[in-house]
Amino acid sequence: MRQSYDVVIIGAGPAGIFAAIELTKDNPSVTAPTVLLLEQGQDIDVRDRDQLTRGWGGSGAFSDGKLILSTQVGGWLADYVPAKDLNNLIEYVDGVYLEFGGVAERFGDKPDKIKKMKRAATLADLELVPVIVRHLGTDICLTVLKNMRQYLNSKIDIATDTTVAEVVAEEGRATGVRLADGTVIGAGAVIAAPGRAGARWLAAEATRLGLAKHANQVDLGVRVEVPAPVMEPLTDDFYEAKLVYRSKRFEDRVRTFCVNPYGEVTKERYHDHIETVNGHSYADRRTANTNFALLVSTTFTEPFTEPIAYGEYIARLANLLGEGIIVQRLGDLMRGHRSTPARLARGTVRPTLGDATPGDLSFVLPYRYISDILEMLAAMDKIAPGVYSRNTLLYGVEVKFYSQRMKMSAGLETDLPGLYAVGDGAGITRGLIQASAAGVVAARAITKASNC
């Protein structure tokens, strides 16, 4: 490691990795910048599932590798990049995934199927948001990340197990980073890509550096698990059908998220002590079930301004009652009693998350969320009959924390010149493709600025 670099990148998730790849692309008219990529977690060959959100590959490493090729889903980059440029950027990023070992098959790009399903969704009081999905699967996703690691190895300096404690600023601009062991490394530009694991840290840094920021929403709900044939009307053609519902009782926005055909329900850890639920599927092996999240997006009443704390509170409540994740049959929830191992055994859906505790989600989720979720399941049953069955399993809770956003330019530079903020940790993305694209945006802005 040198004492100073042209660019220091914090976080080796998709946003940080794509920034590094873009900065080191062969370009005869530009001298290659010196780049250091710092990651607090372990390297790709060493890390395991217990470090779900930390290490080379970030939260993406053990993800399902569903590349959502959309300007509208997976982030808010459209707030910074004009629509046409963003479309091109997403295609470009998709191409890089292919180059490093991604798979060619795409779902959701057949106009006749979209038209038919849009109609069925409308009649069920739902909106279908068509998105094109390239599904890598967890195994291929890991291969792609390993290939990127190998490619970057000879081009930049990489330090894993290395935590950045602070962004260093002097005379009104970012000049480097201070590591947890006190070492200071100088930088012409700093790209902060700390993801969900580092979102709180980045928000605290923004406060310390006096940068303006505003809170994002929190999405809260459950993961639903059904026999795979129930969801086949949607998953066969769309893989990940994005359905949106506006609830009658509260007029809240409820949506499907992260659909995993023939997949498994998994656990996720936040801040090392909160367990939430998630899901994934492999490209080369199948379970009998499909799972997906139903998430409710709400804005909160004043004077409350801590949506992340609220989401954490609900997740902790589930952990308190279930000593981890709770699973409940829909039929049990509707009849007002908890699920037990015996009741689960009487159902037709075998839980793929074996150590979830049979329990009662009505003790965890406020009435508003339960009501919204039940309404959405009933609506979905019209296009995927069987979703609203007493056998359907609900796991709780699933929470998506979107970090606070700082004020940023079109090149994703913050109000502190030289400090760029990208990816999920910056609150501007929530998926692999847009996080990767954000890294490219910042890298291009830095290259442009250094050539001016």
Ligand X SMILES: Cc1cc2nc3c(=O)[nH]c(=O)nc-3n(C[C@H](O)[C@H](O)[C@H](O)COP(=O)(O)OP(=O)(O)OC[C@H]3O[C@@H](n4cnc5c(N)ncnc54)[C@H](O)[C@@H]3O)c2cc1C
Residues that bind ligand X (CB under 6 A): 10-16, 38-41, 52-55, 58-60, 62-66, 68, 74, 163-164, 193-198, 201, 258, 268, 278, 280, 423-425, 430-433, 435
432-451 vs 14-23: helix crossing angle, rounded to 10: 30
Q: At 67, is the secondary structure helix, strand, or coil? A: strand
Q: Give the separation between CA 373 and CA 261, rounded to whole angstroms.
A: 20
Tell me whether residue 272 is exposed, middle or buried, using C-beta atoms within 10 angstroms of its C-beta: 0 to 12, 13 to 18, 19 or more. exposed
* Separation between Cα atoms, residue 350 and residue 330, nearest integer Å: 13
Q: Is the Cβ of residue 267 or residue 337 nearer to ligand X in the bound state?
A: 267
Cβ pair 105, 65 in contact under 8 A: no
Q: How far is the CB of 428 from ligand X (least distance, A)?
A: 9
Of the pair 49, 173, the CB lying nearest ligand X is at 49
CB of 77 to ligand X, least distance (A): 12
Q: Which is nearer to ligand X, 160 or 328 (CB)?
A: 160
Measured at the alpha carbon of residue 40, what is the angle toward residues 36 and 45, in degrees to the nearest 5? 90
CA distance 215 to 224: 28
The whole-angstrom separation of Cα 132 and Cα 304 is: 37
Q: What is the DSSP string of 395-411?
A: EEEEEEE-PPEEPB-TT
- Closest distance to ligand X from the beta carbon of 368 (Å): 26
Q: Least distance (Å) from ligand X to the CB of residue 137?
A: 9
At closest approach, how far in Å is the CB of 65 from ligand X? 6
- Least distance from ligand X to the Cβ atom of residue 202, Å: 8
CB atoms within 10 A of CB 377: 22
Distance CA 319, CA 340 (A): 17
What is the nearest approach in angstroms of ligand X to the Cβ of residue 114? 20
d(CA 3, CA 15): 24
Nearer to ligand X, 40 or 339 (CB): 40
Q: What is the DSSP letter of 347?
A: S
Token readout for 239 is: 């893989």
Q: Which of 385, 4, 425, 451 is nearest to 186 (CA)?
A: 4
Nearest residue (CB) to ligand X, 120 versus 159: 159
Nearer to ligand X among residue 179 and residue 449 (C-beta):
179
Instruction: Output 393 or 433, the one with its CB closest to ligand X.
Output: 433
Q: Which is nearer to ligand X, 19 or 374 (CB)?
A: 19
Nearest to 359 by CA among 386, 337, 339: 339
